[in-house]
Amino acid sequence: MKRKRAGEVMDLVWQTPANPPEPRDYIFRNGRRHVRPYYFEFIAHVKNRWAGKTIVDLFAEEFKGRPYEYYVNAVGCGRIQVDGEMVPVSYIVKPSQKISHFLHRGCRHEPPVMAWGVPVLQKEPDVVTVCKPASIPVHPCGQYRKNTVVGILQAEHGLAPLFPVHRLDRLVSGLLILARNAPKADLFRQQIEANLVQKQYIAKVVGEFPEDEVKDSAKGKTACTKFTRISSNGTYSIVLCKPITGRTHQIRVHLQYLGHPIANDVLYLSAETVDWSSKGSSADRSALVSDASLRPSFDEEVLHKSEGDSNDDFSIDPMCTNCPNLAPKGYDGLEEGLWLHCFRYAGPGWTYECPYPDWAKLS
């Protein structure tokens, strides 16, 4: 598709969910992996409650980020289409129709992640296991699409399709199991749902954790976790965490409830538990998951070269609210990785493991 800008004809390549990530999509700067900005076709299907509205009213009411006049113009020039066709502004939408919104005058900018590769631990006919770095989401979600474990594995290892068997929060590192076909993924999930799979994590927590095994269910809730101290230096402890059931942030919540929150977990730390300013822990807080055997797969020379480059690495769109910056508007920095690491999953007849990160070694 082409459009004119200041007298020139531009070729725009629209990115849709079907476009696979490629190595050239990534730019490495200052230790971060950025995604080259791209034009995007946002796709939605008409919900029942949308049916009967004009295409313009639908967008103006449901997507309030742009003025009404924009949507009138977008429909009129074909930036908004229904079932792949241009329609008049008075067009009444019907249930299940496909609506495409082509952002002709705006780039899609994804948040950066740490500029590490995604090391492949094991590659089998039906299964791939990797060590997920902290800061990278597992699969497309929110603003992330190419800056994901699944996207990077497809771009840099040619691995696709992949079906994540379990989830790890974006700031958590460690073992990630991905099935290479849907039947294998279903088998894993059935085993997990039947409580036939044992999961083990390690965490670096505040204080000297008790020597005896601790079992916590946070005030009687359905989630349960067993904790065992591996080591301690009095200030921090390395704790083995075995979640018996699964809930969002389960390990983090239970460790906080026990009075030993993860030592760099800003969400669950309290002033009574630790005072970062008085304990001088800024160096600890910046120490991300960085096992020497799991270092980035990108070329350091390319990284250093790109760090000194200008924004000529990508085509700047003067109508884009994010350009010339690579990061999206409003992005205020990169969150550090949690000191929480998944290192083992075991089920009927199988076990997968991931090496410990450097922060697990207490001096």
Active site residues: 169
Question: Burial code of 183-206, b = ≥16 C-beta within 10 A, e = fewer?
Answer: ebbebbeeebeeeebebbbbbbbb
Helix H or strand E segment including 189: helix 182-193
Side chain identity at residue 148, one-letter code:
T
Instruction: Report the candidate in 100, 82, 110 with the shortest Cα–Cα distance to residue 41.
Output: 100
CA distances from 30 to 116, 149, 157, 303 (A): 12, 20, 23, 8
Mapped onto helix, strand or coil, the DSSP state of residue 239 is: strand
Cα dihedral sign, 268-273-276-282: negative
Residue written as token pair 């590659």: 123
Structure-token pair, residue 178: 């991905």
